[in-house]
Amino acid sequence: MGVKERMDISRTFRNSMYESPALRPFQYQQSLTPVELSYFSDNKDSYTLQRGAGDQGFRFNTESYQKDAFPNITLWGKAKYENKKIQDLKFIENSDFEVVFPYFTADSVGGDLNSERYQFSGGIAKEIGKWVIGGEAGYKANLSHRKVDPRPENNSSTLQLGFGASYQILPQYIISANLGYQFYKHRNKLTFLRQLGKPPVFYMNGLGAYNSLLSGLSSESDVILYEMNGFDGKISFLPKGDSGFLFEAGLSQQTGSRTLSSSRSSANDWTDQVIAGKIGYLHKSNDWKYGGNASLDLQTRKGVEGLFHNDGSSIGLIKISEVSSYRYYHFNYHLEAIVGQADWTVKPYANFTQFKEQYINPFREQLADMLHIGVEGQYLWDLKSGLFGISLNLQKQKLLKSRSQFNGIKQGTGIADMLQQNYNYLTAEPFSIGARARYDFVASKQIKPFVQAEGLSATEIKQKYYSLTIGLMF
């Protein structure tokens, strides 16, 4: 039962809504600890240059969920290590692109980047009558570098805290409120050993715009420090069991800054806000399971860049003004449904995405409206020797509307080509096929080894992905 409730895609449909600290006691019916080691490889011909052409490496991951580890106490924890090579990055020498964009250090040469990631987290939830009080803490670190020119050194860390309370408002329903805090810090430095043939270093401000005073030729870049922190909150109305209505609403608000060691003032500041919501219904009986949900995620990022003056004094660069110059909008609307029986599940889904990115002066813009339609199916065989499962996921991406305008680009920098390649990837219309096969053995009553193979192929962007995983559950 413990293995099946983690493999079944209909359970994933439900369990992802029970990840807040005060909801963890209702997430799974049985305790389980998976330990796994994976090798993965991903390659694309068309891609966003700042994300790379793909990656390959290995990953170690373990998660433990202990229901009633002590009377009325649920414990959980996670440890993860990942070592990989990100292939063919260009116009970025930072790690954590999703966090720091659009304010990254860039050059036109780039190359592969070696990355190590560490993650540790854990939490506890205590049931007190109809109440549940829970808390969790987590830490993530990312170290990345390159041993040939250009030579970036990136060190980043993230501290996360979460607290929550839930109450059984009706016999079969619970209501919960959860609050989280996150603090992120990142140090970036870029050096060159060769003095001849060095590319210019750009301090990007969005859509290829960069700070002309700070950017240029040098033997090494300034030390760049990033900080970001903020809060997130969520309220939920969910069933205690496997059937019932589901509702969730959340808000995340983060503020960040980029600072150069040559100035006492921040070079850039930004705010990032995400509004999220979900509503749905699930039903499970002895014979059938079915349900559906609708969700939205509305992300808005707004950035400010500083204007500096260099008077040659020892105090370095002086900020004389600042301008609100960057806007980023990513709105995602998702519909999905499930239907199936104990051994099979079908999940059709549709996703509508609106994307817009703007830089004010000179005016630059790219936008796209995309529709993703797909269906995922899974079949599980209960065998005497274990559990075997296969799944297939088919998806088509369709471009509904797009527009781009890139004004005032200096020739000879490679920035125009970079923007066009990124836009081509953004507006591509691939058809993808993904498949997964997994076999869980029954070695003993307590220990269940497993092996899993996964692959994906996509047209137009010519993506090829595969992974192999071995592990055990106990």
Name the band, by pLDDT with cuts 50, 70 and 90, for residue 428.
Answer: very high
CB neighbours of 4 closer than 8 A, spacing ≥ 6?
11, 380, 387
The rounded distance, in Å, linking the Cα atoms of 36 and 26 is 24
Name the band, by pLDDT with cuts 50, 70 and 90, for residue 286.
Answer: confident
Judged by average pLDDT, the poorest of 74-88, 133-147, 195-209, 326-340 is 195-209
Amino acid type, 93: E
pLDDT of residue 309: 83
Dig out the tokens for 389 from the structure. Answer: 């499962």
Domains of the chain: total: 1
The answer to whether the Cα torsion of 207, 350, 432, 94 is positive or negative is positive
In the three-class reduction of DSSP (H, G, I as helix; E, B as strand; rest coil), residue 359 is classed as: strand
Q: Is the peptide bond before 362 cis (omega within 30 degrees of 0)?
A: yes
User: Does the structure show a pLDDT above 60 at 427?
Assistant: yes
Helix (H) or strand (E) holding 421: helix 415-426
Domain hosting 297: range is: 4-473
On whether the CB atoms of residues 52 and 113 are closer than 8 A, the answer is yes
pLDDT per position as a tens digit, 432-464 = 999 999 999 887 778 889 999 999 999 999 999
pLDDT per position as a tens digit, 83-101 = 999 999 999 999 999 999 9
pLDDT per position as a tens digit, 215-235 = 765 545 678 999 999 999 999
Look over the chain and give the mean of its residue pLDDT values, rounded to a whole number. Answer: 93
The rounded distance, in Å, linking the Cα atoms of 232 and 252 is 4
Count of C-beta atoms within a 10 Å radius of residue 115: 20
User: Does the structure show a pLDDT above 70 at 312?
Assistant: no
On whether the CB atoms of residues 32 and 78 are closer than 8 A, the answer is no
Dig out the tokens for 255 from the structure. Answer: 């503020």
Amino acid type, 164: G
Dig out the tokens for 426 from the structure. Answer: 């953004």
On whether the CB atoms of residues 165 and 131 are closer than 8 A, the answer is yes
Dig out the tokens for 313 from the structure. Answer: 């004094």
**How many helices (H) and strands (E) in the chain?**
4, 21
Which residue reads 């290995």 in tokens?
58
Amino acid type, 268: N
pLDDT per position as a tens digit, 190-220 = 888 877 777 888 999 999 999 888 776 554 5
Give the DSSP letter string of 275-300: EEEEEEEEEE-SS-EEEEEEEEEEEE
On whether the CB atoms of residues 426 and 399 are closer than 8 A, the answer is no
The C-alpha R_g of the chain, in whole angstroms, comes to: 24
Dig out the tokens for 471 from the structure. Answer: 């592990």
pLDDT of residue 445: 77
Number of residues assigned to the chain: 474
The rounded distance, in Å, linking the Cα atoms of 251 and 297 is 10
Using DSSP bridges, classify how beta strands 151-170 and 244-260 pair: parallel, antiparallel or unpaired: unpaired
CB neighbours of 129 closer than 8 A, spacing ≥ 6?
none
The rounded distance, in Å, linking the Cα atoms of 390 and 247 is 30
User: Does the structure show a pLDDT above 80 at 345?
Assistant: yes
